[in-house]
Amino acid sequence: MQENRVVVTGLGIISPVGNDVSSFWQAIKEGKSGVGPITYFDPAGFDSRIAGEVKGFDPALYGLTHKDTKRMDQFVQFAVASAKQAITQSGLDLAKEDRERIGALIGSGIGSLHTIEEQHKIYLNKGPSRLSPFLIPMLIVNEAAGQVGIVYGLKGPNSCVATACASGSHSIGEAFRILERGDADVMVAGGTESCIVATGVGGFCALKGLSMRNNEPQKASRPFDKERDGFIMAEGCGLVVLETLDHAKKRNAKILAEIVGYGMTCDAYHMTAPDPQGDGASRAMNLALKDSHLNPQDVDYINAHGTSTKLNDKLETLAIKRAMGDYAKKVAVSSTKSMTGHLLGAAGGVEFVVCCLALQDGVVPPTINYEYPDPECDLDYVPNTARKMSLEVCMSNSLGFGGHNATLIVKKFKG
């Protein structure tokens, strides 16, 4: 059976550095950090007191009423907003489309810790009779995809992926497969997250995963730098509109890029630590290359998972070397988490958007805060300043707790 080609026609972003694609991309190119002191709760007593919070988000701009927001946790609101951006950019006229052929596949690593915390306090203080009837539908991870389907009337395949920090990439990859095999014409896909609450921050502090550079928040996320001491929790959403090429051509859509490869593997090693040989991540890259019928030398840029933790950055570097061979030292690699922080389940969606924008603009975003080279991290990390270069193919890596690995490959559309 002939597989459909799949293209990107719309992008949507809510992030710590901008709540639309234009402002987000400008901040990324300029190397601006969205990390600052936590304001959502009093973080006194926490080892890490900084995060990448979304600023100035207004649900009303996306048609959500006060009643709507009382029934949707913030990670769901972010998804509805990003979906509207992406659908608008795509030029889809939903009134003229067969909505049974349009679906949504949106992942989240954690879902709603905010609702759980809030409702648990109500239970303790006022008893079970005062719990919200919307407690369960507000906290479950699938409601992001479900609400996007409801708000925009999308009746096609609708699902979610929860693979920790690989959720957004897996969601885009699985939506790609749905379109390849012809089970839909259009998919809205990516990841969303909003869990900067005491339980979330406290849990990652207990894991010793977060940076404690509290006095220099904008310098705290420093992937591949020798002085890195942990990641920065962040929130937001990154979604894309994917279409079969035939469908996009029939409606004369502006095509932003073509998704050509997807690989997924498991480390089968540890609940939080990556495989010490970089095996799972390298196999995901190799599978994505095989899927796309490309060689390592065809890849111009890799958006690394690059969390700013000691283990991840060292072992992802090793994985890139295993997958790319001698070419690893020549390919441009950067981590935009140096600016956004780590959006957990939304990271892969946001970083896939970055790859699409990089292809359009011919700009590789920087890894900011790269000051002290680490001998174990010795690739070209595009330090501190964006780089203009001709780009044809970009790769995006996502690695999640539990050993989940996902790699996506997107290329400039050539017709």
> Is 205 known to be catalytic?
no
The residue type of 345 is G
In this structure, the number of other CB atoms found within 10 A of the CB of residue 252 comes to 8
Q: CA-to-CA distance for 337 and 349, rounded, in angstroms?
A: 12
Q: CA-to-CA distance for 371 and 383, rounded, in angstroms?
A: 8
Tell me if 82 sits within 8 A of 151, measured CB to CB: no
> Is 170 known to be catalytic?
no
Q: Which candidate in 114, 247, 342, 404 is catalytic? A: 342
Q: CA-to-CA distance for 185 and 98, rounded, in angstroms?
A: 9
β-strand partners of 6: 244, 259
Q: CA-to-CA distance for 352 and 28, rounded, in angstroms?
A: 13
Q: Which candidate in 247, 305, 356, 377 is catalytic? A: 305
The residue type of 45 is G
- Write out the H or E segment, with its range, that includes residue 169: helix 167-180
Could you please report the per-residue DSSP string of 348-365? HHHHHHHHHHHHHHTEEP
**Closest CA relative to residue 288, chosen from 408, 152, 403:** 408
The distance in angstroms from the start CA to the end CA of the chain is 21
Give me Rg for the CA atoms of the chain: 20
> Is 165 known to be catalytic?
yes
Q: Which candidate in 160, 165, 237, 377 is catalytic? A: 165
Rounded to the nearest 5°, which phi and psi values hold at 334?
-150, 160
Catalytic positions: 165, 305, 342
